[in-house]
Amino acid sequence: MNAAPERGGGPDTTSGPPPSGDGPVRGRAAEVLRTVRPGAGRPGASERAARMHPAARLEDAFDRRVAAVLRRRGWTLRIEPYAGYGGPGWVRVFARTLLAAPQVHDDDLPGAGAAAQAGARPAPALRGWRSFATAQVAGAELEVRVGERVHRIRTDRGGYADVRLDSDLAPGWHDVELRAPSGAVAVAPVHVVDPEVRGGIVSDIDDTVLVTRLPRMFVAAWNTLVRHENAREPVAGMAGLYARLAAGDERVPVVYLSTGAWNAAPAIGRFLRRFGYPAGPMLLTDWGPTNTGWFRSGREHKLGQLRRLIEDFPHIRWVLVGDDGQHDPQIYAAIAAEHPDHVRAVLIRQLTFAEHVLAHGLPAPAHEAVRAENRAARDGLRDGIAVLQGEDGYELLRAVHAAGVDLT
């Protein structure tokens, strides 16, 4: 998903009164099952279809054929919700529309239990590959009920919706109902952040809270697609670190930011809840061709999302948590330099010798990561930003205690 508002699926109309009755949105079910909507982009894309990259056009053509075949076989539209967030007067809602076989119940879908990190009862664990065995539905019309307000939106060419909508919800966790004209219904949890809260946590996922050993693709693919969810390993002490930072205040926003695919969100949500991590939405991305190239930039995804969080919550100072296996030090250093008044601390988990070798082929952090950490530490001293390092959550917690870092 991209940092700009409504760059994924966007509202067809602004908020308005509910349609007559409580039934599904009016319209032909066949229209909901159509594939790529002309001119619709993936999350973060604003280019029209005429400017789309050839890889994106090929992917869309393939998706059209697949959806047509599955539709003839009786597959129906389902809605896969993801946890979102908001503030006074607005919420940011995430969801995806996909096709599933008629004999597959909603509880059996890969997205079942996606709201686990919001406190819901977790669904049975699955092998990761099942979360990728889906067929997206682009341009699907959805009705979104936010409290007493009703909005109508469309999903983008990847079947995703990432929309900012007007809201009358009070601070705390709430359920937002999404409904398709075919009758499919789903509930997406959203955390409306209390305007009195002054601190929050942004956490990377891979090799920060979850042992993934990215970006070596073979190891990552095995961990993500084949290995059973219950076999995934948490990074020692990180859940306790986040609990200490939040100090028991459930109002503190916790956002999990990763370059991982949205397909993995349900499994990650169940993992976070199982190992005691605080509730919070995830900001992931859509793998595959974009409107301008074969792949999207993970670095730009993280930078864009961090900038948007700072824009959405100008009253919050964030503790940014990542690892030195990829680009977190550089990204966090850049954000701290741009917005020193909105960053409370930068915490970097140092990968072990073996993890560094698996991650990028070297037994130590890359030179640019070391330079970024040193720059962040130097600039942080000037701006009052603590830059702390540790091999796991226990070491980072001791450093947090020593530095007096809190979210008040």
The CATH number linked to 271 is: 3.40.50.1000
Q: Is residue 347 located within the same domain as residue 220?
A: yes
Q: Is residue 235 located within the same domain as residue 96?
A: no
d(CA 240, CA 394): 8
Q: What number is the average pLDDT over the span 239-265?
A: 92
- Is the pLDDT higher at 395 or at 376? 395
Q: Is 390 inside any structural domain?
A: yes
Phi-psi domain of 178 (left: phi exceeds 0; alpha: psi -120 through 50; beta: other): beta
For residue 287, the model assigns a pLDDT of 53
Percent of the chain at pLDDT exceeding 90: 44
User: Would you place residue 102 in the very low, low, confident or very high pLDDT band (cuts 50, 70, 90)?
Assistant: confident
d(CA 349, CA 38): 44
Q: Which of 142, 177, 192 delimits the end of a domain? A: 192
Q: Is 4 inside any structural domain?
A: no
Q: Is 82 inside any structural domain?
A: yes
- Is the pLDDT higher at 405 or at 217? 405
d(CA 12, CA 9): 9
pLDDT at 274 over 90: no
User: Would you place residue 71 in the very low, low, confident or very high pLDDT band (cuts 50, 70, 90)?
Assistant: low
The domain in which residue 338 lies consists of 199-403
Q: Is residue 203 located within the same domain as residue 325?
A: yes
pLDDT at 26 over 50: no
| The pair of three-digit structure tokens given for residue 370, joined into one six-digit string | 């070391």
Q: Which of 165, 192, 219 delimits the end of a domain? A: 192
Q: Return the CATH number at 80.
A: 2.60.40.10
Q: Is 5 inside any structural domain?
A: no
Q: Is residue 331 located within the same domain as residue 218?
A: yes
| 244 membership: H or E segment, kind and range | helix 238-246
Q: What number is the average pLDDT over the span 51-80?
A: 69
Q: Is 175 inside any structural domain?
A: yes
Q: Which of 192, 226, 261 delimits the end of a domain? A: 192
Q: Is 369 inside any structural domain?
A: yes
- Mean of all residue pLDDT scores within the chain: 76
For residue 135, the model assigns a pLDDT of 78
Q: Is residue 300 located within the same domain as residue 342?
A: yes
User: Would you place residue 28 in the very low, low, confident or very high pLDDT band (cuts 50, 70, 90)?
Assistant: very low
Q: Is residue 185 located within the same domain as residue 138?
A: yes
User: Would you place residue 358 in the very low, low, confident or very high pLDDT band (cuts 50, 70, 90)?
Assistant: low
Give the distance from CA 324 to its chain's centroid: 21
Q: Is residue 122 located within the same domain as residue 220?
A: no
| The pair of three-digit structure tokens given for residue 88, joined into one six-digit string | 């006074």
Q: Is 408 inside any structural domain?
A: no
Residues 6 or more apart whose Cβ sits within 8 Å of residue 101: 73, 74, 75
pLDDT at 180 over 80: yes
Instruction: Tell me the whole-structure pTM to 2 decimals.
Output: 0.79
Q: Is residue 124 located within the same domain as residue 204?
A: no
Q: Is residue 257 located within the same domain as residue 345?
A: yes
Q: Is residue 204 located within the same domain as residue 227?
A: yes
pLDDT at 330 over 70: yes
Q: Is 163 inside any structural domain?
A: yes
Q: Is residue 175 located within the same domain as residue 260?
A: no
What sign for the dihedral angle of Cα 281, 283, 284, 290? positive
d(CA 241, CA 391): 13
Q: Is residue 210 located within the same domain as residue 131?
A: no
Q: How many domains does the chain have?
A: 2
